[in-house]
Copies of this chain bind each other. A is one copy, B any other.
Amino acid sequence: MKVVCIGSGNVATHFALALKKSNAEILQVYSQHQEHAQVLADEVDAMAIDDTALISPDADLYLIAIKDDAIASVSSILKNIKGLVVHTSGATPMSVLEGMSRYGVLYPLQTFSRSRALDFSNVPLCVEAGDGDMLKEVKAVAELLSPLVYDVDSVQRKVLHLSAVFVCNFVNHMYAIGADILSAAGLDFELLKPLIMETAAKVQHAEPSSVQTGPAIRGDEQTMNRHKELLMDRPELAAIYETLSNSIKKTH
């Protein structure tokens, strides 16, 4: 399989590396910035390009992994391409690709960091395509990368992306607040790491709402008041504490 990788950020990098590993040939890596394209191109033995006019017409797969609001304009350039065109965005409907001859979506439900190796075989891949034949093709690509392949339409994908904001982006912000509170008290974030791992591990085998703990669910007002006192000088954190504690109380 010959691949053109459009984009050179975290998602593009992890896809290109995983595709290369499963014996695909990466022909080109495109980025607006030649030097960004070059970094990834060097890793996967591809040609770096910064001009969409240079995109090869001969690839089997055009993988679009760029900022959401740039997908429509880049894909319009690929209108006469015969290969399969897929984007990887959780928040972008498939309809932006409707001008293509063959198209689909390959949305990886995972968080990517450039600096962290990732085992793609543990990444759920959510697939959608223009018709049944195209879906078979998108699935064939997905199955090269991971056994976790799910049929997810554009509406469901939007919901998945929203829930990922809660369980990933907002969760990471909670970690950042924890680290911030500790560092202000001269304590090491190291102390929280086992708790963070165990909290994530617990919900691998239990409904999150069934393993909720803490002062809010116990209705322990005394502890909550002490916590709010500690946050007196941090009104923004106090507001988050209040909002989330109330939400836990309401839920249970």
Contacts and interface: CB of A to CB of B under 8 A. Distances in A.
A184 to B, nearest CB: 8
Q: Is chain A's binding surface mostly helix, strand, loop or mixed?
A: helix
A176 B244 contact: no
A125 to B, nearest CB: 10
A113 to B, nearest CB: 6
Contacts of A247: 173, 177, 236, 240
A1 interface: no
Nearest to A220: B68
A223 interface: yes
Interface residues of A, number: 94
Given A111-B198, A191-B124, A208 B150 contact: no
**Most chain B Cβ neighbours within 10 Å, of A159, A165, A223:** A165
Interface of A: 67-69, 91, 109-111, 113, 115-116, 118, 122-124, 126, 148, 150, 152, 155-156, 158-182, 184-187, 189, 191-209, 211-218, 220, 222-223, 226-227, 230-231, 236, 239-241, 243-244, 247-248, 250-251
